[in-house]
Structure 1
Amino acid sequence: MSETIAAGRRICLVGASGLVGSAVIEQSIGRSDLRVIGVARREVLLPKGARLEILVGPTADWPDLIEAAHADVLVCALGTTRKAAGSDEAFRAVDHDLVLETARAARLAGIDRMILVSSVGADPESTNVYLRTKGEVEQALGQMGFARLDVLRPGLLRGKRLEDRPLEKAGQVVAPLADMLVFHARLRRFRSIAAVRLAQVVLALSADRVPGHFVHEHDSMAEILRHRPFQPCPA
């Protein structure tokens, strides 16, 4: 656990050890306007200069840890794959059940704003297990009474993961060229995005208090970054 930083908006981050969660932590370095409190099952390796708390405990204890975070915003970057989980049921236990349990705990703790990292193509009616699960989660969260809910639907995420995902690695190689060939508005939503850029969108949205339910795909996220360019931390 690290030093306390200056007061600002408080972000409770679940999924801190993943690609997006790690990027959120990295992009929060040097920011005096916010404080990140991570909730995780195990200790998280922090980048140099990171000053935040990681509250560690089994998922059964997460409601208490989320309450202890005293956060203004819940950022949920939880996610796995069917291959990593080992079965459809194990995948759903994380990407559906744990996400919703975390959201319910946040609401009970008085957190009324949430940012969810979902996926492009999320649809509760999809025949694809991954996309259907993501869509069902989005649908359920929309009924939980958050004053503001931001759903991010990125395409392929670019960045270095700790776990091995061969197909994703291959996709990252060809993604830049594929992105250049996608111009039509309906297809641009499938463009890839660097995890650090997605993290910058998360931090920008964490400051928004206008109530509502917002879904952000590629063009929307690019617009957020254009109008609120990221200010890097001082060296």
Structure 2
Amino acid sequence: MTTSIIAGSSGLVGNNILNQLCEKNHKVIAITRKPISSLPPNASELIIDFESFLIEGSLPACDHVFLCLGTTMKIAGNKNNFRRVDFDYSIDIAKKAFESGAKKLTLISSGGADSSSKNFYLRVKGELEDSIIDIGFESVNIFRPGFLTGSGGRKRATSEKIFMKLAKFLDLVLIGSTSKYRSINAKVLAKKMVSTLKSKPGVHYYYYEDFIKP
């Protein structure tokens, strides 16, 4: 049986991936900082301290890793803390999963990610993508969504809740080349990410139009 590891399994997208994999009776290991409430009975969790894990941690044998770690600048407080989570923690999990036998990796990145971008957020996301590709996975699946909507994960700030309600209206003006930045429901995105369990070798990028395909 294929074993998948999910990093960021308590977040909006990661939690949806966790539940969807478990519904398929897939073997799942959820990496988390603290116990997950309502953990599906057929999933196991690996509770870690990321700082010590960077130095001496290792992962159990696995076939596929879903990388859904991420924070916001507001929560991180500054650029260094943001990069610590979104780049350092993420690339370390990816490398340790590769060392443990993972052949495939699926990453949630961001629309507009570019390692040469002047925008700090998009540059970090792009640098992570490039670094993961360099590790050597047989198959790398990079998802670049716009704004995420849906339930689950951390408690949302009032401003985020308001933006979620406005997102559908804002999507109407995102046409043509900008349509890839439209909002996407986390459950829908997670379903597409789960489908990469059957992905072919190579590096694959996914955008809004890919998310909504049957």
TM-score, normalized by the shorter chain, greater than 0.5: yes
Query: Which of 151, 161, 166 is matched with 2:158 structurally?
Result: 166
Aligned-partner Cα distance in 1 for 2:41–2:73: 31
Name the counterpart of 2:202: 212
Aligned-partner Cα distance in 2 for 1:198–1:65: 28
Name the counterpart of 2:69: 78
Please report the RMSD computed on the Cα atoms of aligned residues, expressed in angstroms: 1.7
Matched, 1:88 2:83: no
Aligned-partner Cα distance in 2 for 1:148–1:125: 24
Superposition deviation, residue 39 in structure 1: 1.3
TM-score when scaled to structure 1?
A: 0.84
CA contact (8 A) 2:22 2:28 kept: no
Aligned-partner Cα distance in 2 for 1:137–1:181: 30
Q: How do residues 47-196 of structure 1 correspond to structure 2 at under 5 angstroms?
A: 50-59=41-50, 60-61=52-53, 64-66=57-59, 68=60, 70-160=61-151, 161-184=153-176, 186-196=177-187
Superposition deviation, residue 167 in structure 1: 3.4
Matched, 1:30 2:30: no
Moved over 4 A (4+): 62-65
Name the counterpart of 2:2: 9
Matched, 1:201 2:192: yes
Secondary structure at the residue paired with 2:13? helix
CA contact (8 A) 1:120 1:153 kept: yes
Matched, 1:20 2:10: no
Structure 1 gap ranges (5+): 1-7, 227-235
Query: Which of 30, 33, 38 is matched with 1:41 structurally?
Result: 33
Structure 2 gap ranges (5+): none
Aligned-partner Cα distance in 1 for 2:41–2:172: 34
Q: Percent identity?
A: 29
Superposition deviation, residue 50 in structure 1: 4.7
CA contact (8 A) 2:7 2:31 kept: yes
Superposed CA offset, 1:179-200 (max 9, x none): 234331x111011111101110
Name the counterpart of 1:222: 212
Superposed CA offset, 1:107-160 (max 9, x none): 111212100010111111212211111011011111111110000001100023
Amino acid at match of 2:65: L
Question: Alignment length, in residue pairs?
Answer: 211
Aligned-partner Cα distance in 2 for 1:125–1:64: 31
